[in-house]
């Protein structure tokens, strides 16, 4: 991955997080964080 692609990807991610925070009060980000926590526990179980 080049630096230019990484920079654009980082800007898009930060913009989407900001949009979620402003429009939906961070509800989707919280949902994804909870699902990621469940997923990591599931992965740890199979380890």
Q: Please say whether the beta carbons of 21 and 29 come within 8 A.
A: yes
Q: What is the pLDDT of residue 36?
A: 95
Task: List all residues 6 or more positions away from 27 whose beta carbon is below 8 Å from its beta carbon.
Answer: 20
| Tokens 């990807």, located at residue | 9
Q: Is the overall model pTM greater than 0.85, yes or no?
A: no
pLDDT band at 45 (very low <50, low <70, confident <90, very high): confident
* Model confidence pLDDT, tens digit, residues 10-30: 999 999 999 999 998 989 999
For the purposes of burial, counting CB atoms within 10 Å of the CB of 47, is it exposed (0-12), middle (13-18) or buried (19 or more)? exposed
């Amino acid at each position: 991955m080049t630096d230019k692609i990484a920079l654009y990807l980082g800007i898009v991610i930060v913009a989407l997080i900001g949009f979620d925070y402003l429009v939906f009060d961070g509800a989707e980000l919280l949902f994804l964080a909870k699902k990621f926590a469940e997923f990591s526990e599931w992965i740890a179980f199979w380890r």
